[in-house]
Amino acid sequence: MSSTSPQLPPYARIVAIAGPPAAALAALVCAAAGLLPTLTALAAATALTAAVGTARLVRLALRIHARVHSFGPCRGAGYLGMGVLATGLSVVLLPFAPAGARAPIVSVGLAFAAVLYVIGLLLLPGAATTTHARLRRCFDGVSLGISIAFAVWLLPPQGGMPAAALASALVGSFGLATATVIVLRVVAYRRAAWLCGGGVGIALGGVGAISMILAYRGPSWALLIAAVPVVVSPALILGGAARTEAGVEPAPVGEPESHLSAYPLLTIPAVVATLAAAWHLITVGQFDKTAIVLGLSVIPTVVAREVFAVADVRRYARQLSTQEAHFRSLVSGAGDLTMVVGEDLVVRWQSPAAARLFGLSDADVVGRAFPDLMHPEDAADVLAVLNQTLSTEDEDARPALVPARLRDGHGAWRDTESTVSDQRDIPEVAALVVHIRDVGERRRLERTLHKLAFTDQLTGLANRRELMRTIATQRSVEGHTGALLVIDLHGLAGVNDARGREVGDAVLIEVGRRLRATVGTDDVAARLAGDEFAVVTVEGPVVAYALGTRLLTALTEPYLLPGATVHIYVSVGLAELAGGDGVDDVLRRADLARRRAGQLGRNRIEWYDAYLEEQLVRRMDLERELPGAATRGELDLVFQPILGLHDGQPVGAEALLRWRNPSLGTVLPSELLPVAEDLGVIGEIGQWVLQEACRRIAAWDPRLWLSVNVSPAELAAPDFVSHVAATLVASRLSPERLVIEIAEGRVGADTPTVVTQLAGLRALGVRTALDDFGAAQASLAHLRRLPIDILKVDRALVGEHVTTRQNGGLAKPLIDVVVSVGRRLGMEIIAEGLESGAQIDQARAAGCQLGQGFALARPAPAERFEAFLAERLTQPN
């Protein structure tokens, strides 16, 4: 029953279902006890169950039609209800009919009921969905029923039976046989069909038995026994029909409703009929007309049945042909090659797509072992996967995927992927099914994408992503001691600005070529970004440092390009791959070493260590704190006296810059000025130093002068000379009391600009000095070209040993030579960096009149310096 139908209490449902049959059986028992006439009790019992069964079946049909809108279950329940009604009427009329007409009445009712029951069963869901299938069921039932009726007619020894009995036998046999065929071949709602078929069978059997008893004038108690299945059958039919109310279940896979399975069912009655005919010939010797008619009537039904069988076979053949054509078209036009491989791993069949996809014929493949078709390097892996598939008993296991190279019909190796599916459980296949697809284009695309994703497009080197992956891979190798070199090209931005980006790209391409030619075969060269490159080497620290040296030599060679020769310089930083917390930390360490190399000068290589990181952290702190130091009042000047070496009297001083930061402490110029130049604040700091120095010296003894250091960047500023002039005016300072110093080692290649600016200062009356002469590779040409008034000799030329032996004699110290040249050029000589009495004596002996150093006086703040001046200037010579 439907879940939407009214629900009754359990006891009420029991009463509703079992009540009418129980009451009918009670009436039959009363008749057996002699309390009621037999026919009256028989009619009453049958009328009760028939009426209740018919009403409920009709109501069920209407409810199914209204709620489910399924005409099969609806019409099936309705016809079954009409069959129950016909059964009931055939028995109810017995008390009112004369004795001779009772058997024919039951036979007619049996015929109507059989037809209605068969129609109802055929319309049940899953019984037969097409007219062809229903006709086939009917002919199967007729053939089976006639065979049974023929056997029944011949079995009685006396032969023959009344016409009513014969009709009942034929109709009953037809109905029972057809119902049996329908129930046995139902493909959905089998329990419903079994209940309905069981009810129909016992109903037809009971009515048929009543007809036979009446025809042969049997006893009354036999009628009562035959009536029991008649009164019980409506309840069974109703129970089965109610199960179809929810709709049609899907048919089980592999069980078509027209499957040729009725032959075993027809064989049994055919054998019975044959045996009955043989028995009849032995006992009687001849057949009467009825037997002949029954025997001959089997032939048309069998012929009709065979016609349907032939039609089914032809239809199946057409379906198979169509399915085969579809299969061939799918397989032939598929993008995969399909092979059937036996348990011995020999190819049994291949799809027609083999010739189109791989140029393979059946002769090339069929009969050969599947692993033999693959590349020798891949055959072992293919064999392992096939054996694993054969040994796996899990039916739900996913098909194995086998990447391998297959030799095509032209002898070329093709990249393929094969999916191995175990179909040994399917009898029609009983082998492994392998689907092979050509993935060569995909692999080429993957390689192209990999090249785009992991290769620098300009230089052809690995890019940053590939470099990081290589570092991670090498770090994962236990005991690996490789190194990372980060390379920075300096001066490339100027090449782009001066000669164009095309020349800059040509330089980068050449850098990539030189890197590939210099590194080892196991090393990986990469371009990180812009003018920054890197090399991952598998060698240890010492060999990696040697590689860095070779890279410096190779990359600093001139770049001879069409129409241009480019020079660049390089900074290299190294870090061990095993150090750090990860790949990013390795790159960070190498980059820190590279930055330190760039800070220390050109074409340098530095190895990362903890002290280096401390220096770089210190540098970053300086860069963070230095901007705005002048406005915050953190800059200060100290002054170191310059004394006469013969009388010790102060003649001037040098202003030395100090940066007194609250968090960094006191920072000296050697650490401060490079940072200021890199940040571009050297001009701001230089202006403050010049203004503060002029303000201080203006308040001192007019006999004293003060020297101020300037950087080449400050000196090269177009307004430097005018700014000095404005500062002198603002502080009311005589120009000759100011000395502008420039370090000899920092004059650089831009000597004409330096000469012009120094000449402009001399035109103002400001004196100029060349500082640290001799600290580096001193050039006497500077002394001749630069407009210098004062030459400050570096302490490197003032040693403890005053003479050197040369050619068997004594040669003069270098300071003597420098002093001699300086005097000839009209310069005043100052020996700086004097830290001992011996150095003072040597400078004095060389002819230096002035000196500066710790041995004479240390730098001091302005107040202490003024006190020093007050003490020294008041002393007599």
Q: What is the mean pLDDT of residues 810-837?
A: 80
Residue in 307, 314, 370 with CA at minimum distance from that of residue 343: 370
pLDDT tens-digit profile of 817-829?
888 888 888 889 9
What burial class does residue 267 get, using C-beta atoms within 10 Å of its C-beta: 0-12 exposed, 13-18 middle, 19+ buried?
A: exposed
Q: For the residues 182-210, what does the mean pLDDT come to?
A: 80
Residues 6+ apart with CB under 8 A from 121: 76, 80, 127, 178, 179, 182, 183, 193, 196, 197, 200
Task: Say if residue 260's pLDDT is above 70.
Answer: no
How confident is the model at residue 513, as a pLDDT? 94
Q: Mean pLDDT across the stretch 182-190?
A: 75
Three-state SS for 478?
coil
pLDDT for 138 equals 75
More confident residue, 102 or 594: 594
Residue type, 30: C
**How much is the pLDDT for 877?**
46
Sheet of strand 400-407: strand arrangement: 347-350, 336-341, 432-438, 413-422, 400-407
The single-letter DSSP state of residue 860 is: B
Query: How would you write 718-769 as a 3-class SS string?
Result: CCHHHHHHHHHHHHCCCHHHEEEEEEHHHCCCCHHHHHHHHHHHHHHCCEEE
DSSP per-residue letters across 506-529: HHHHHHHHHHHHHS-TT-EEEEEE
| CB 315, CB 336: distance < 8 Å | no
165: CB partners within 8 A, 6+ apart: 103, 211, 212, 215, 216
pLDDT for the residue 805: 45
Confidence category of residue 574, pLDDT binned at 50, 70, 90: very high
Q: Which of 74-88, 312-326, 512-526, 584-598 has the lowest mean pLDDT?
A: 312-326
Q: Which residues are paired to 253 by β-bridges?
A: none
Rounded CA gap, 743 and 710, in Å?
A: 8
Q: What is the DSSP string of 288-320?
A: -HHHHHHHHHHHHHHHHHHHHHHHHHHHHHHHH
Q: Determine the Cα–Cα distance for residues 587 and 289; give it in Å rounded to an integer.
A: 112
For CA atoms 393, 395, 397, 403, the dihedral sign is: positive
C-alpha–C-alpha distance, residues 510 and 458, integer Å: 10
In this structure, how many other beta carbons lie within 10 angstroms of the beta carbon of residue 801?
Answer: 8
Closest CA to 769 of 717, 706, 811: 706
Tokens of 425: 């459980």
Q: Could you tell me the pLDDT band of residue 164, with boundaries at 50, 70 and 90?
A: low
AA identity, residue 572: V
84-88, 392-396, 746-750: the lowest-pLDDT one: 746-750
Is the predicted pLDDT of residue 371 greater than 80, yes or no? yes
pLDDT of 744 above 60 = yes
Among 16-20, 496-500, 836-840, the range scoring the smallest mean pLDDT is 16-20
Q: What confidence score (pLDDT) does residue 641 get?
A: 93
Highest mean pLDDT among 216-220, 270-274, 457-461, 745-749: 457-461
pLDDT for 404 beyond 80: yes
What percentage of the chain reaches a pLDDT higher than 70?
A: 85
Per-residue pLDDT band at 514 (split at 50, 70, 90): very high
| CA–centroid distance for 62 within its chain | 57
Instruction: Supply the pLDDT for residue 563.
Output: 76
Measured CA to CA, the distance from residue 227 to residue 88 in angstroms comes to: 11
pLDDT at residue 281, rounded to an integer: 75
Residue 806 pLDDT greater than 70, yes or no:
no
Report how far apart the first and last C-alpha atoms of the chain are (Å, whole number).
136
Q: What pLDDT is recorded for position 746?
A: 66
Confidence band, pLDDT 50/70/90 cuts, at residue 199: confident
Q: 251-254: which pairs have CB atoms within 8 A and are 24 or more residues apart?
A: 251/126, 251/187, 251/188, 252/187, 252/188
User: Residues 655, 661, 667, 673: what is their CA dihedral angle, to the nearest 10 degrees?
Assistant: -70
Span 201-253, pLDDT tens digits: 888 888 888 877 887 777 888 888 888 888 888 888 887 777 776 554 554 54
* Rounded Cα gap, residues 788 and 761, in angstroms: 10
Q: Report the pLDDT averaged over residues 89-93.
A: 84
Q: What is the pLDDT of residue 510?
A: 92
Q: Rounded distance, CA 18 to CA 861, Å?
A: 124
Residue 5: what pLDDT?
44
Rounded Cα distance between 436 and 765, Å, is: 94
pLDDT of residue 608: 86
Longest dimension (CA), the chain: 180
* CB proximity list for 378: less than 8 A, separation 6 or greater: 403, 404, 405
| Phi (first) and psi of residue 852, to 5 degrees | -150, 135
CB-based burial label for 723 (10 Å; 0-12, 13-18, 19+): middle
pLDDT band per the 50, 70, 90 thresholds, residue 812: low
Contact partners, residue 53, CB within 8 Å, separation at least 6: 20, 81, 84, 88, 234, 235, 237, 238
Calpha distance 771→358 (Å, rounded): 83
Most confident residue range from 190-204, 334-348, 612-626: 334-348
- CB atoms near residue 787 (< 10 Å): 15
Give 772 or 458, the one with higher predicted confidence.
Answer: 458
Taking residues 112-124, report their average pLDDT: 81
pLDDT tens-digit profile of 20-33? 878 878 877 887 77
SS (H, E, C) 13-65: HHHHHHHHHHHHHHHHHHHHCCCCCHHHHHHHHHHHHHHHHHHHHHHHHHHHH
Average model confidence (pLDDT) across the chain: 80
pLDDT of 430 reads 82
Residue 643 scores a pLDDT above 90:
yes
pLDDT higher than 70, residue 157:
no
Ranked by mean pLDDT, which of 10-24, 233-247, 584-598 comes out on top? 584-598
pLDDT band for position 811 (cuts 50, 70, 90):
very low
Q: What is the pLDDT of residue 409?
A: 86
